Amino acid sequence: MTGFGRGSYEDADFSVNIEMKTVNHRYNEVAIRLPRFLNPLEDKIRKTILKTVSRGRIDVFITADYNVSGNCTLKVDKNLAAAYHKALQEVGVAIGADVAGINAAAEILYLSKCPDVINVKEGFFDVESVWPKVEQAVEQAVANLVAMRETEGGNIYGDFIYRADLIAEKLAQIEERSPLVVEEYQAKLQERLTNLLADNNIKVEPERLLQEVAIFADRTSITEEIVRLKSHIKQFKTIIASDQPVGRKLDFLIQEFNREANTIASKANDYTMAQIVVEIKAEIEKIREQIQNIE
């Protein structure tokens, strides 16, 4: 399920901004990008998010600044600076430049910008002391994210109810049609047998005809499948009304929807019912796609 949330905290010495977004994903995956000095808090941040969000890919972007006097020092790599100076002298000689006339201040400025000549060395930073501040921002971002996801979830819930009712309606059409299939089979069988045996003046034996019809009715009976699918629809509505994560349960249940629909199609032996099953399977597929969007 898609969503976006933002949270922040700021005081005189520390500030943090957190943005997180979720996209559809069958499982649960959290990717966190944060400043290096906050790395020790990554696991706590992840656990805080997963207490509330249990499905989807969650991308978390964290920026933070701190202001602690004396916490950073600069270190000059003198050997590297000397090596750069020597290299500059050699370049000057190679091109015939007056190396003696090189402006010292300009060279110092240039050398200070060379890679790794001046390095920032961070002092000790008590990252655990800022965890309550980071946690506050994380929880704020999660709350905003959940609010947005709940709005989308309400729309999906309405769509689920609509499609479940549509499947139930089409299932009722199949249930109503099913006895007529046996009656039509009996009429067609009797007509064919009568035509085949008329030339020899042989009458169709009613008992034999009824036996054949009974075999056909038993082979094409879809009563059990209809009952099970009705039960699945009822269970589906109960599950989506729950306030707990239901995505994985629905994943399994929709497979059962599909299984019963396929069995009905294979046993129906009737074009009209087969067409209705196709329509049911189309609705099942729409539900299955939406299930990937929810917890």
Q: Is the pLDDT of residue 168 over 80?
A: yes
The rounded percent of the chain whose pLDDT value lies above 90 is: 26
φ/ψ of residue 288, rounded to 5: -60, -40
pLDDT winner (highest mean) among 56-60, 176-180, 207-211, 290-294: 56-60
pLDDT in tens, 187-197: 665 666 566 55
Q: What is the pLDDT of residues 5-18, one digit of tens each?
A: 999 999 888 899 99
Q: What is the 3-state secondary structure (H, E, C) of the chain?
A: CCEEEEEEEECCCEEEEEEEEEECCCCEEEEEECCHHHHHHHHHHHHHHHCCCCCEEEEEEEEEEECCCCCEEEEECHHHHHHHHHHHHHHHHHCCCCHHHCCHHHHHHHHHHCCCCEEEEECCCCHHHHHHHHHHHHHHHHHHHHHHHHHHHHHHHHHHHHHHHHHHHHHHHHHHHHHHHHHHHHHHHHHHHHHHHHCCCCCCCHHHHHHHHHHHHHHCCCHHHHHHHHHHHHHHHHHHCCCCCCHHHHHHHHHHHHHHHHHHHHHHCCHHHHHHHHHHHHHHHHHHHHHCCCC
pLDDT at position 202: 58
pLDDT of residue 110 exceeding 70, the answer is: yes
Residue predicted with more confidence, 193 or 30: 30
Confidence of residue 123 (pLDDT cuts 50, 70, 90): low
pLDDT at 294 over 80: no
Task: Decide: pTM greater than 0.75.
Answer: no
Check residue 234 and give its pLDDT: 92
Q: Which residue has the higher pLDDT, 267 or 170?
A: 170
Instruction: Give 199's pLDDT tier (boundaries 50, 70, 90).
Output: low
CATH number, domain 3-67+128-145: 3.30.230.70
**Which pLDDT score is estimated for 13?**
83
Note every long-range contact of 250-257, with CB atoms under 8 Å and residues 24 or more positions apart, other chains counting.
250/291, 250/294, 251/26, 251/291, 254/284, 254/287, 254/288, 254/291, 256/228, 256/232, 257/167, 257/229, 257/232, 257/233, 257/284, 257/287
Contacts of 222 (CB under 8 A, 6+ apart): 174, 178, 263, 264, 267, 268
In this prediction, residue 269 carries a pLDDT of 74
- The span from the CA of 55 to the CA of 245, in Å, is 8
170: left (phi over 0), alpha (psi -120 to 50) or beta: alpha
Q: Which two tokens stand for residue 163?
A: 């499609």
pLDDT at 120: 67
Question: What pLDDT score was predicted for residue 201?
Answer: 61
Per-residue pLDDT at 218 exceeds 60: no
